[in-house]
Amino acid sequence: MTTFTELLSYEDALASFDPVMGLEVHVELGTRTKMFCGCSTELGAEPNSQTCPVCLGLPGALPVVNEIGIESAIKIGLALNCEIAEWCRFARKNYFYPDMPKNFQTSQYDEPIAFNGFLDVQLEDGEIFRVEIERAHMEEDTGKSLHVGGATGRIHGASHSLLDYNRAGIPLIEIVTKPIEGAGERAPEVAKAYVAELREVIKALGVSEARMDKGQMRCDVNLSLRPSPEAPLGTRSETKNVNSLRSVERAARYEIQRHAAVLTSGGSIVQETRHFHEEDGSTTAGRIKDNAEDYRYFPEPDLVPVAPARTWVEELRGGLPEMPRTRRNRLREEWGVTEHDMQSILNAGAVDSIVATTEAGADPAAARKWWMGELARNANEQGVVVDELPITPAQVARVAALVAAGELNDKLARQVLEGVLAGEGTPDEVVEKRGLKVVSDEGALGAAVDEAIAGNAAIADKIRGGKVAAVGALVGAVMKTTRGQADAARVKELILERLGVSEG
Amino acid sequence: MTDIIRLTAAQTAEKIASGELTAVEVTEAHLARIDATDEKVHAFLHVDREGALAQARAVDAKRAAGEKLGPLAGVPLALKDIFTTVGIPTTVGSKILEGWIPPYDATLTRKLKEADVVILGKTNMDEFAMGSSTENSAYGPTGNPWDLTRIPGGSGGGSAAALAAFQAPLAIGTDTGGSIRQPAAVTGTVGVKPTYGGVSRYGMVAFSSSLDQGGPCARTVLDAALLHEVIAGHDPMDSTSIDAPVPPVVEAARNGSVAGMRVGVVKQFAGEGYQAGVVQRFNESVELLRELGAEIVELDCPSFDLAMAAYYLIAPSECSSNLARFDAMRYGLRVGDDGTKSAEDVTALTREAGFGDEVKRRIILGTYALSSGYYDAYYGSAQKVRTLITKDFEKSFEQVDVIVSPTTPTTAFPIGERTDDPLAMYLADLCTIPTNLAGNSAMSLPCGLAPEDGLPVGLQIIAPAMKDDRLYKVGAAVEAAFIARWGHPLLEEAPSL
Amino acid sequence: MPGITREEVAHLARLARLELKAEELDHFAGQLDDIIGAVARVSEVADQDVPPTSHPLPLTNVMRADEVRPSLTPEQALSGAPAQEQQRFKVPQILGED
Ligand SMILES: [Mg+2]
Ligand SMILES: [Zn+2]
């Protein structure tokens, strides 16, 4: 955007102000059908092919609640250590917008299904930061607009818009934090860590894939500054729809710097929505939130109250999976890795793949080594996450087994992985096709060793004379003639044997 | 011909089942009557001649094939234009939906079709069911067959007039504050507001969701019961539909009796604003009930005095939200889209052009009552009144089996008399509103003509929730006694059109 | 408490997306003032300790199984559209944003 915005340096901003954040995360549930009708939620359908009288808001149509929508909301509430309402209602949030068929959103207002919880998140250095949860409530998504006639599909300058209501009515859970105080300069990091952890929790619960890149999880970052932790809360800005973990951190950081610049120059913050720009990490002004905004909430008269039986809630609590942070700590201990390494594994999105590989029989260290080494590098190059690579944990486990059995060395193993990723077949097929077997034929190996000794007489003498460390050069020569297909340890043994030297 | 249109629904069904009449004959007779009279009455907004005859032919074919026919198979019906009907326009009496053809059937429409009831067409109504005179229809008023210069009641004036004009033996209405009962009262017909949740609202265009209830309209208590049984029952598409057996209304209608019953008369349903002839006929009805063996109990329901005020907060609040969907984006009217205006402007221009005065008044009133700062005082207090009314009913039904009252304080007033005085118009529903707020069931049936103007007076019977059968038991007894006294049904005194 | 001004009516009309004409504003302001004066009686119970009733039914927990039901066809969905393009509802330019 062209407007130039003054920013204060991050350090100066933090020197003068205490940031307070509020994070609102919308998660699209992975239910088969919409929240209030039986239309499919499958992605990628033709426009307006997954709509019905209910989600189109046709006159006379009525909503009926999806029970898995309620169940998912309760699970999320429980995982976030919330209380679950004994009795709550849906409410209508009234405002006009063409992507909202009824011109009210069926949501929850003062009676959310889950409230008063917290989520502990772990920062890069291992510190645990507790984020308090205000509420988690149920609502529905809107349709999608396509803006035509303007520049690059933007709403501004468009001549008209085209609406597809396939997404209208897909269940959303909105999770709202209490004001996050005391994070100080780590506020952006806390924001990112919170959204990352929340995403892990949602995925572990199996209620959504929570793919931020597909809009299944979206975050609004509310931020305000105050001169000191004792001062009253400042005016906040609401940066809408921040759609990646990195962006959450950048948006918070940018707003801290922008607010600080405005405040130190004697200006005041306007309560408004802001748009985040991926290209340069900036935000620009959106709609001003004035008092004209009046959603006229009232209890949705077309739905009856939701009163989850305590037995049901306890049953759901009992069925919750191990929470991601607990699981990570357990795995970290089992695998014997540092906090830092575990964080890298998490960042690479490789935890589940490593677990699955060990479950397929691989040693945890080997599983970690392949996923975090060769495969992480490959994923990085292709811009995907490791679990999207065309290789299964079982295949990785097979490669690890071949290495353990001495049939592959690391170099060959990397070639096998490369072959599998290239679609050449299973690890065994790649080994077969590419002829990637360690040369263990003692005769052939012996000839190569003799050749190396003969061709490097000076080095051989040094070794005979006790400089055993020089053996590396001869091993290298043998590996070269065997094109790497030899077991380096065995080669070393043979050389020392021939030269009549014993190790150590 | 005349004979066919004057038959009751029960008699018609019997004659079709026995082969004495064909469904096509019956349908043609009613279509001819509509042709002959509807220019004057204007009960219908849309007559579905072809569809009706096709349905009738299907009934005759079924009979010819020896299939068993339902109790109302082949009987014509006039459907209030508030229920969606595939392939037939549904306007709700509003310009904003002019020409809209729904892609789906209301549950009630589907049930009628499945019962082989012949839908003649869609009837006139106050726009979005807001009104008590049918004058708020965007398509012009309906005349009361007793006196075409007078209102037929509302909002379901078209349905009631169609019955009174012998254009159909059965009709469907909806009742949010009295829109079935008050038209029944002023046209000398029978109308029932079932227990809230008794008849599915799916496909019934919403006015006020927590108050709206569809129900049967007919010329006799038994006919109403037969229709009630067809349209009632649990619907999984309506979350507010009661999942319980339909009360035995037909059985009750066939076994009318009030002997040994305790009948309540509420103190608050009297006083200023009640026409003398209405009070006279009501008092005679109470006397009749006593003669028939009922015990009369006087009841005090102080909260009823606040019912009207609560209603005119709750109904507009809900309607302001329910009608937000009419925004010119997905269906219905679109005004002002000249390529330069924004969606926001087009929505506002369309709503301005597409809604009538009463609808606009109620949308603004509801927007006001729900706005922050007023919510607690208005909407919140109205909900408290609702609780008190429910309690007054509960307390009353500990003492009595049913309550009776005049259905409406006056007989049909002249068209145009109250159109610019909303508060005067609202008084028509004084006695019917408490039932909508509490959700229980009520019926209106004719109890004579007011001596001063010779126009029909309605007797309202109110029963507890899901005790709709009591309405029919008492209604049938009263109806039989009155017919015995008058020597004929009241409608025979109506002028021929 | 009662009393509603012409300006308030104008504000409410904007909230409700009604492009009222000047004469309508005057007309409605007067009528609404009367109506609000009449319905304000409900505040007589404001202080009473009575639970609110938002709905006449005592039902709770009405839910449906998460099973796909047939949708309308896109043709049916768009059948009432004032304008359409690319199988989508065509609407005038949208000003606001949210
Ligand atoms: Mg929300
Ligand atoms: Zn749908």
- A29-63 pLDDT per residue, tens: 999 999 999 999 999 999 999 999 999 999 999 99
Pairing mode, strands B295-299 and B262-266: parallel
Residues of chain A contacting C53 with CB distance shorter than 8 Å: none
Portion 365-404 of B in contact with C at CB < 8 A: 365, 367-368, 371, 376-378, 380-388, 390
Three-state helix/strand/coil letters over A138-186: EEECCCEEEEECCHHHCCCCCCEEEEECCCCCCEEEEEEECCECCCHHH
Give all strands of the β-sheet with A91-94 in edge-to-edge order: A104-107, A91-94, A298-299
Class of residue A485 by CB neighbours under 10 A (exposed 0-12, middle 13-18, buried 19+): middle
What single string gives the DSSP state of each residue in B152-183?
--SSSHHHHHHHHTTS-SEEEEE-SSSTTHHH
B494 Cα to chain A: minimum distance (Å): 36
CA of A174 to the centre of ligand 1 (A): 6
What are the structure tokens assigned to A484, written together?
A: 């790497």
Question: What is the pLDDT at residue A262?
Answer: 95
pLDDT at C97 over 70: no
| Pairs of residues, one from chain A and one from chain C, whose beta carbons lie less than 8 Å apart | 139
pTM of the model: 0.91
Residue to mutate among C12, C68, C78, C87, with most A CBs inside 10 A, is: C68
Across the interface, whether the CB atoms of C57 and B384 are under 8 A apart is answered no
Single-letter amino acid code for the residue at C67: E
Strands (E), B54-166: 76-80, 118-123
**Counts for chain A of helices (H) and strands (E), in that order:** 17, 15
Q: What is the dihedral of CA B159, B161, B163, B167, to 10 degrees?
A: -100
Interval A250-255 mean pLDDT: 97
Per-residue pLDDT of chain B (497 residues; tens, 9 = 90+): 459 999 999 999 999 999 999 999 999 999 999 999 999 999 999 999 999 999 999 999 999 999 999 999 999 999 999 999 999 999 999 999 999 999 999 999 999 999 999 999 999 999 999 999 999 999 999 999 999 999 999 999 999 999 999 999 999 999 999 999 999 999 999 999 999 999 999 999 999 999 999 999 999 999 999 999 999 999 999 999 999 999 999 999 999 999 999 999 999 999 999 999 999 999 999 999 999 999 999 999 999 999 999 999 999 999 999 999 999 999 999 999 999 999 999 999 999 999 999 999 999 999 999 998 899 889 999 999 999 999 999 999 999 999 999 999 999 999 999 998 999 999 999 999 999 999 999 999 999 999 999 999 999 999 999 999 999 999 999 999 999 999 999 999 999 98
Single-letter amino acid code for the residue at B92: V
Question: What is the pLDDT at residue A286?
Answer: 85
Q: Note residues around ion ligand 1 (Cβ under 5 angstroms).
A: A 174
Domain membership flag for residue C54: no
Question: What is the pLDDT at residue A438?
Answer: 75
What are the structure tokens assigned to B4, written together?
A: 């066919």
pLDDT at A113 over 70: yes
Interface chains of chain C (3 or more CB pairs under 8 Å): A, B
Point out which residues pair with A276 in neighbouring strands.
Answer: A283
Domain membership flag for residue C60: no
Point out which residues pair with A128 in neighbouring strands.
Answer: A122
Q: Which residue of A has its CA nearest to C17?
A: A96
Across the interface, whether the CB atoms of C42 and B381 are under 8 A apart is answered yes
Across the interface, whether the CB atoms of A96 and B324 are under 8 A apart is answered yes
Q: What are the phi and psi torsion angles at B448 (to 5°)? A: 125, -175
Domain membership flag for residue C14: yes
Distance CA A126, CA A345 (A): 14
Considering CB atoms only, which of C16, C24, C79 is closest to B363?
A: C16
Ligand nearest to the CA of A143: 2
Domain membership flag for residue C32: yes
CA of A52 to the centre of ligand 2 (A): 4
Question: What is the pLDDT at residue A290?
Answer: 65
Across the interface, whether the CB atoms of C31 and B100 are under 8 A apart is answered no
A177 Cα to chain C: minimum distance (Å): 20
Question: What is the pLDDT at residue A291?
Answer: 58
Give all strands of the β-sheet with A128-140 in edge-to-edge order: A83-84, A114-122, A128-140, A171-177, A18-28, A217-226, A237-242, A272-277, A282-288
- In this prediction, residue C98 has a pLDDT band, given cuts at 50, 70 and 90, of very low
Pairing mode, strands A128-140 and A171-177: antiparallel
CB contact at 8 A, A146 and A161: yes
Considering CB atoms only, which of C15, C64, C71 is closest to A40?
A: C71
What are the structure tokens assigned to A217, written together?
A: 């999880």
CA pseudo-torsion sign B120, B125, B129, B133: negative
Across the interface, whether the CB atoms of A65 and B237 are under 8 A apart is answered no
Domain membership flag for residue C74: no
- In this prediction, residue A445 has a pLDDT band, given cuts at 50, 70 and 90, of confident
CATH number where C26 lies: 1.10.20.60
Ligand nearest to the CA of A36: 2
Strands (E), A35-179: 65-66, 83-84, 91-94, 104-107, 114-122, 128-140, 144-148, 160-164, 171-177
Domain membership flag for residue C70: no
- The answer to whether residue A301 neighbours chain B at the CB level (below 8 Å) is yes
Question: Residue C1 sits in which domain range?
Answer: 1-46
CA of A144 to the centre of ligand 2 (A): 15
* Residue whose C-alpha is closest to residue A114's, from A44, A174, A191, A182: A174
Pairing mode, strands C63-64 and A65-66: parallel
Distances (CA, A) of B471 to B215, B255, B465, B482: 13, 12, 11, 16
Residue located via tokens 């002002």: B336
Across the interface, whether the CB atoms of A155 and C57 are under 8 A apart is answered no
Domain membership flag for residue C21: yes
pLDDT at C30 over 70: yes
Q: Which residue of A has its CA nearest to B366?
A: A296
Q: What are the phi and psi torsion angles at A218 (to 5°)? A: -135, 145
- Chain centroid to Cα B495, Å, comes to 23
Distance CA B182, CA B175 (A): 9
Interval A364-391 mean pLDDT: 90
Tell me the three state secondary structure of residue A135. Answer: strand
- Give the H/E segment covering residue A253: helix A245-264
State the catalytic residues of B.
Answer: 80, 155, 179
Distance CA B411, CA B408 (A): 7
Interface chains of chain A (3 or more CB pairs under 8 Å): B, C
Question: What is the pLDDT at residue A288?
Answer: 79
CB contact at 8 A, B307 and B288: no
* Residue whose C-alpha is closest to residue A352's, from A373, A381, A331: A331
Point out which residues pair with B119 in neighbouring strands.
Answer: B77
Portion 159-218 of A in contact with C at CB < 8 A: 159-165
CB contact at 8 A, B142 and B158: yes
Radius of gyration of chain A (CA): 30
CA of A454 to the centre of ligand 2 (A): 81
Task: List Cβ neighbours of A262 (8 Å cut-off, separation of 6 or more).
Answer: A6, A268, A269
- In this prediction, residue A111 has a pLDDT band, given cuts at 50, 70 and 90, of very high
Distance CA A236, CA A273 (A): 9
Interval C35-58 mean pLDDT: 91
pLDDT: is A241 or B462 the higher one? B462
pLDDT at A2 over 60: no
Q: What are the phi and psi torsion angles at B368 (to 5°)? A: -65, -50
pLDDT at A105 over 90: yes
What are the structure tokens assigned to A64, written together?
A: 């009926």
- Alpha-helical segments (H) within A405-456: 410-421, 427-434, 442-455
Interval A200-220 mean pLDDT: 95
Give all strands of the β-sheet with B402-406 in edge-to-edge order: B44-47, B118-123, B76-80, B170-174, B214-218, B190-193, B441-449, B456-463, B402-406, B262-266, B295-299
* Residue whose C-alpha is closest to residue A113's, from A81, A143, A136: A136
User: What's the number of domains chain C is made of?
Assistant: 1
Q: What is the dihedral of CA B311, B315, B320, B326, to 10 degrees?
A: -150
Distance CA B34, CA B44 (A): 8
Measure the CA angle with vertex A39, ends A33 and A42; round to 5°: 65
Distance CA B180, CA B188 (A): 12
Point out which residues pair with C25 in neighbouring strands.
Answer: none
Question: What is the pLDDT at residue C96?
Answer: 66
Q: Which residue of A has its CA nearest to B92?
A: A59
Residue to mutate among B325, B346, B364, B376, with most A CBs inside 10 A, is: B325
The ipTM of this complex is 0.97
Task: List Cβ neighbours of A501 (8 Å cut-off, separation of 6 or more).
Answer: A463, A464, A466, A468
* Least reliable range by pLDDT among A288-297, A468-477, B72-81: A288-297
Distances (CA, A) of A49 to A45, A100, A164, C76: 7, 17, 9, 9
- The answer to whether residue A67 neighbours chain B at the CB level (below 8 Å) is no
- In this prediction, residue A287 has a pLDDT band, given cuts at 50, 70 and 90, of confident
Distances (CA, A) of C68 to A324, C61, C65: 31, 20, 9
* Residue whose C-alpha is closest to residue B168's, from B62, B37, B39: B37
Question: What is the pLDDT at residue A1?
Answer: 39
CA pseudo-torsion sign A107, A108, A112, A113: negative
Domain membership flag for residue C92: no
Residues of chain B contacting A92 with CB distance shorter than 8 Å: 321
CB contact at 8 A, A434 and A412: no
